[in-house]
Amino acid sequence: LILHHEVKTASSGEDALSGFEPGMFDVALIDLGMPGLPGDKVAERLRDVDASISTVLMTGWSLAKDDARLAAFDDHVQKPFTEFDELLDVIGRAIATHETRIDQTVTPG
């Protein structure tokens, strides 16, 4: 099984949003503690531009299950993750979420 993912990195929340357009990415892996604009706000703004994008929180912070910031994310992975398979599982779920959203926006012709 060969996996191919194009990765773009951003050094701040504003950098992550700069030039973002609908359909540009299927999944966004976002840290909560980003400089400038916090990760939950980045996730919300990405979704405002492209409702189909799947957002994944990657954080080392311990958050309560009812933390309001979690609402901006479809899934999460706790850092540090020691098993690469854990990250692949989260990315697989995120891609499936994105594909489901795309399928829901396509109307039969």
- What are the pLDDT digits (tens) for 16-31? 999 899 999 999 999 9
Strands 27-30 and 75-78: unpaired
Question: To the nearest whole percent, how much of the chain has pLDDT over 70?
Answer: 94
What predicted TM-score, i.e. pTM, was given to this entire model?
Answer: 0.87
pLDDT band at 81 (very low <50, low <70, confident <90, very high): confident
Quick one: pLDDT at residue 106?
63
Residue 97 above 90 pLDDT? yes
List for the chain the helix, strand, coil content (%; round to 5).
Answer: 40, 15, 50
pLDDT band at 1 (very low <50, low <70, confident <90, very high): very low
Rounded distance, CA 43 to CA 41, Å? 5
Residue 46 above 50 pLDDT? yes
Rounded distance, CA 52 to CA 46, Å? 9
- The size of the chain, in residues, is 109
